[in-house]
């Protein structure tokens, strides 16, 4: 799979696994909805029930601003398997043009956000490296 196809599959994926590192050095992975904005993947803290608005992933990327995102396709027909992982630096936006662009892209991609758009911080993962695999 070449870079262009990996980006297409990434953009079309409905969920990803966002991996960051806790302040004490442990891995932390969460499933997120996301959108591709240029060469950045963005997900936002939304209104779904949470124990706090200051989530572990926010603490993680504030301490060490690097992360990975993995999207994949599983099928019982193993000839259809594939995955794409991106690695890069992370930033957090709480307002401004980039935040509004992220919110707009997420509303376009997920109908659930059209009536209840996310209002929390946006986490941007800049794509520094793409690794992809498909059965083949």
Q: Which residues pair with 35 in a beta bridge?
A: 42
Residue 94, SS3 per DSSP: coil
The confidence score (pLDDT) of residue 55 equals 85
Report the number of distinct structural domains present in the chain. Answer: 1
CA distance 12 to 10: 5
The confidence score (pLDDT) of residue 42 equals 96
pLDDT along the chain (136 residues), means of 10: 95 97 96 95 76 79 96 94 97 93 95 91 96 91
What domain range is 19 assigned to? 3-134
Q: Residue 102 sits in a domain of what CATH number?
A: 2.30.110.10
The confidence score (pLDDT) of residue 28 equals 96
The confidence score (pLDDT) of residue 49 equals 45
CA distance 113 to 111: 5
User: Which of 18, 24, 23, 22 lies closest to 43 in space, CA to CA?
Assistant: 18
Residue 103: exposed, middle, or buried by beta-carbon count in 10 A (0-12, 13-18, 19+)?
A: buried
pTM strictly above 0.75: yes
């Amino acid at each position: 799979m070449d870079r262009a196809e990996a980006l297409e599959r990434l953009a079309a994926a409905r969920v990803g696994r966002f991996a960051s590192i806790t302040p004490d050095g442990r891995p932390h992975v969460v499933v997120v909805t996301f959108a591709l904005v240029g060469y950045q993947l963005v997900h936002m803290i939304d209104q779904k029930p949470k124990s706090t608005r200051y989530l572990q992933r926010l603490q993680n990327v504030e301490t060490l601003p690097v992360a990975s995102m993995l999207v994949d396709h599983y099928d019982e027909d193993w000839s259809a398997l594939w995955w794409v992982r991106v690695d890069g630096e992370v930033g957090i936006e709480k307002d401004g043009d980039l935040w509004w662009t992220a919110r707009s892209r997420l509303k376009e991609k997920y109908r659930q956000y059209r009536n209840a758009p996310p209002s929390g911080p946006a986490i941007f993962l800049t794509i520094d490296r793409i690794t992809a695999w498909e059965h083949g």
